[in-house]
Amino acid sequence: MAMMNRSQYLASLDDGRRIFAEGQEVKDLASHPQFATAIKLVGDGYEAHYRPGEDASGPYFKIPRSRQELKEILEDLLTWDMVTVTTSQGLLALLTAAARIRPARPEYARRIEEYFEYCRAKDLRCVQAITDAKGDRRLPPSKQHDPDVYTRIIERRQDGIVVRGAKLHISSAAVSHELIVMPTKNMKEGEEDYAVACAIPVNAPGVRIVNTSYAPRERIEDFPVSSQHNMPEGFVILDDVFVPNERVFLAGEIEHSATFAHALGLWERLGGTAHLAEFGDQLVGLAQLVAEANGTDRIHHIREKIAEMIIYATLVRAGLEAAIANAEPSPEGWYFPSELYTNAAKHYAAAEYSRMVRHLHDIGGGAIVTAPSVRDLENEEVGPFIRKYMATKEDIDGEYRTRLFHAVRDFTADAYGGWQLVTMIQSGGGLYAQRLVARKHYDMERAKDLARKLAGLA
């Protein structure tokens, strides 16, 4: 067991992986501009956490054994890069699935625990690969015109399986080491080949990753958020990839296919809620700063909108706290967040996020998308005029206000902002999935009993 530092992480990317971007295969990932920020962020994480010694391991491999430890992990998570967060969530999801399938499938549970230790020993970064292409959404996997639109087992060997398919929306796959493949949904009788969960190295033969990015290509000084925080989005192709038995966690047992998706959804939604709680505070801060800069902070409807944003941020954080406070232990002593509070909190946070952004845009005004660039500010001829006319009060100069508008635009109204709007809804599954899980775990019988008593029908 040994941790990696930045240089070792960079060296680990030169492993023969097949990466594509903008129509070309990327031969040198570390030097490609589309991946530069992502690699730097992950490298920063490796460098920040690095400790020498054969028994050292990162805090992202910690398994919570109390509610307090679960809370500490979530607090730490907000300071990690996306890849490190994804690693923690993915491995905890696997352990959650292991705890749930152990009574019926102890061999799979053992393999998951050994895989967890393997990743910890080598200090690897993992991403969850769950969403399939899905083809015609009206049809189940076994009825699709092309059977490969859901990832499936195409061959079973004595020493492992061969899988084929694609996994979509896999953030940061190109700069990670491992793909944790899971079924995208519950599989039914006749769909045994689609009930597959396994771990695949990014550089395994047959794996190719096509990437897109919301990172700014130019004028990065006008993108203060996304120029510093961006990750490639991977379209992962699994073209007849062999997976040895020790990395296979499910291979046809349809009764457990939904277990993996639900486990991953739980941890992704918890992490998503933690980030949304912080985003809520950031939106409030931006709204207040812009209102003060515009001189509108005492106008009634502006104050009311900011008050509503404050309530949003506070309730999201309250839901997060409730998910932790009601966490439950597994037979192994691992603590998992409350399904009910996690899903209810994530649903509320995601469903209302766009309205909070709308409030911010209403408070800020059109300059959010029309403010001159930083380079124009620095131009000797027009820069002084921009500073003059973008200024408002004595203590609010034109450059400060212009840069504030750029931050609002980049965070909420440009490529990164659009990515955020979609991601906030879709991360951990869409809103409908969260409603289903919340309903499943809600104590409906108690609610009905209370209603009967109220109506005198007890």
- Owner of token pair 């492993």: 15
Whole-number pLDDT of residue 1 = 65
Asked if residue 300 belongs to a domain, the reply is: yes
Whole-number pLDDT of residue 214 = 85
Helix, coil or strand: residue 155: strand
Domain that holds residue 402: 259-449
Asked if residue 87 belongs to a domain, the reply is: no
Distance CA 287, CA 386 (A): 22
Asked if residue 342 belongs to a domain, the reply is: yes
Distance CA 322, CA 275 (A): 15
Whole-number pLDDT of residue 218 = 81
Residue ranges of E strands in 207-327: 207-212, 233-244, 248-251
Asked if residue 232 belongs to a domain, the reply is: no
Asked if residue 8 belongs to a domain, the reply is: no
Q: Which two tokens stand for residue 310?
A: 């404050």
Asked if residue 307 belongs to a domain, the reply is: yes
Q: How many domains does the structure of the chain reveal?
A: 1
CATH of the domain at 438: 1.20.140.10
Mean pLDDT of the chain: 95
Contacts of 160 (CB under 8 A, 6+ apart): 242, 243, 244, 245, 247, 248
The strand order across the sheet containing 233-244 reads: 24-26, 18-21, 207-212, 233-244, 160-171, 152-157
- Beta strands 160-171 and 207-212 are unpaired
CA dihedral 184, 188, 191, 196 (to 10 degrees): 40
For the whole model, what pTM was predicted? 0.90
Asked if residue 284 belongs to a domain, the reply is: yes
Q: DSSP secondary-structure letter at 245?
A: G
CA distance to 292, 354, 385, per residue, from 389 (Å): 16, 31, 6
Contact between 269 and 339 under an 8 Å Cβ cutoff? The reply is: no
Q: For the segment 69-120, what is each residue's pLDDT rounded down to a tens digit?
A: 999 999 999 999 999 999 999 999 999 999 999 999 999 999 999 999 999 9
Asked if residue 136 belongs to a domain, the reply is: no
Question: 366: exposed, middle or buried (C-beta count within 10 Å: 0-12, 13-18, 19+)?
Answer: exposed
For every one of its 458 residues, what pLDDT tens digit does the chain have, with 9 covering 90 and above?
A: 689 999 999 999 999 999 999 899 999 998 898 899 999 999 999 999 999 988 899 999 999 999 999 999 999 999 999 999 999 999 999 999 999 999 999 999 999 999 999 999 999 999 999 999 999 999 999 999 999 999 999 999 999 999 999 999 999 999 999 999 999 999 999 999 999 999 999 999 999 999 998 888 788 899 999 888 889 999 999 999 999 999 999 999 999 999 999 999 999 999 999 999 999 999 999 999 999 999 999 999 999 999 999 999 999 999 999 999 999 999 999 999 999 999 999 999 999 999 999 999 999 999 999 999 999 999 999 999 999 999 998 889 999 999 999 999 999 999 999 999 999 898 888 899 999 999 999 999 999 999 999 999 98
- In a 13 Å sphere around the CA of 132, the CA atoms on its Cβ side amount to 29
CA dihedral 394, 399, 405, 409 (to 10 degrees): -170
Per-residue three-class SS string for 158-221: CCEEEEEEEEEEEECHHHCCEEEECCCCCCCCCCHHHCEEEEEECCCCCEEEEEECCCCCCCHH
